[in-house]
Amino acid sequence: MRLLIHLLHGLIQSTQLCLWRLWASLFVCRPAQGLVEYSLILMLIAMACIAILTTVGRTTSELWYEKIIQAFPGS
């Protein structure tokens, strides 16, 4: 009976240790994690800027093209 209690106590301690390590590995901030988050934010900002500039650029280009064509005589 004493051996069984000793084995169960060891099993519970090892399970608690494994769960603690799992918890720590999932929720502990690492120094490189901040760099990855900042790079993801910068990438999203860059993609938004590219999309906006592509849309505005086309509209601006078409507007200037029409004004230039209208400025030439005989068009």
Q: Is the pLDDT of residue 11 over 60?
A: yes
44-68 pLDDT, tens per residue? 999 999 998 888 877 787 887 788 8
The residues, any chain, with a CB within 8 Å of residue 69's CB and separated by 6 or more, are 75
Across all residues in the chain, what is the average pLDDT?
Answer: 80
Q: How far apart are CA 20 and CA 25, in angstroms?
A: 9
Q: Which residue has the tokens 């910068």?
A: 42
pLDDT of residue 46: 94
Q: Of 5-9, 43-47, 67-71, which gets the smallest average pLDDT?
A: 5-9
Residues 29-49: tens digit of each pLDDT? 666 677 888 899 999 999 999
